[in-house]
Amino acid sequence: MAVTTNYQTPLEQSQWLFAGDVFGCSITHNVQSFGSLSLTAMPGEPLALTLAADWISMHDVSSQASVTYPAWKSQHTAPVAATSLQWHGNQARSEQSIAPFLEALEQGLAWKVKVSVKDGSQYSVDSAPVATKAVANQFRLCRQKLLPKPFSYVRRLDLMFDTSSSRLNSAQSTDLFAVYRYIQADHSIAEVLIDGHADASGDRIANLVLSKERADEVASMLIELGVPAKMIQVRHHGTRAPISSNNSRQGRELNRRVSIRLVKSQTASTTGTSL
């Protein structure tokens, strides 16, 4: 039977570190001689639990993480919650069933990860449940202020329109609000490019006008939300730049669109927390 080696930072040296802003929130706990455990929240993404190892690297291997009672509550043996971390190099990560791990910090419970290496070695990586409630509260407050979507989502959006329509639906309005929030937070955004398009159905001149109406509608909503008009460049192309064939219904649906692109300044940088 393999012997399990335990890793845990002594209580008197244990720390839980919080970092966060509208771009992301994190709680990190260093585990002496092994690596670190962290809980992260990013805009538009689920909570994630990560174990980063200083000296282990694996692929296509999973490790079981669980919420457990601390050693001085020995009458409780069953895990409170569990998730499976998938290894990619020196990090094992999960986005499944992570909420109980945050709740555990508020309740003074511990995290444990059981790591089995292909050579047969086994390790138990334990958190120290000391002074966790304050960082858990900071983390929750941070999550409430996160941007709705990350830059990877808002940097390029295509809004699709119904035939002969320039009307925005509720989902598109939600996306435009996310664009506005990101521009408001990231001062490196220098320009917003808005391009209106139409499919090839009907009159060419009418489609050119319709593509302008669509682009103007998007620009107007962004300005109403608070995006400075001087940042916005509006163009309309009618049927000149299809992204799919107009010979099929699906292709025409894709061509009835307004594309939005956020352009960053080459000199400015995003103000955000490095997580």
pLDDT confidence of residue 270 = 47
Residue 273 lies in a domain: no
Residue of higher predicted confidence among 29 and 74: 29
Give tens-digit pLDDT for 187-205: 999 999 999 999 999 999 9
Residues paired with 30 in a beta bridge: 36
- Please give the helix or strand (H or E) that residue 220 lies within, else none: helix 204-225
Q: Work out how many domains the chain is built from and give that number.
A: 2
**Boundaries of domain holding 57:** 4-144
Residue 270 lies in a domain: no
Are 8 and 111 part of one and the same domain?
A: yes
Are 78 and 208 part of one and the same domain?
A: no
The 8-class DSSP code of residue 118 comes to: T
Residue of higher predicted confidence among 5 and 1: 5
Are 34 and 95 part of one and the same domain?
A: yes
Are 139 and 164 part of one and the same domain?
A: no
pLDDT confidence of residue 118 = 87
First to last CA, the chain: 39
> What token pair was written down for 136?
């858990």
SS3 187: coil
Per-residue pLDDT, averaged over 61-88, amounts to 83
Give tens-digit pLDDT for 10-45: 989 999 999 999 999 999 999 999 999 999 999 999
C-alpha span between 176 and 170 (Å, rounded):
10
Are 256 and 169 part of one and the same domain?
A: yes
Domain boundary (114, 144, 174) is at 144
Phi/psi of residue 20, each to 5°? 180, 155
Q: Are 78 and 106 in contact (CB under 8 A)?
A: no
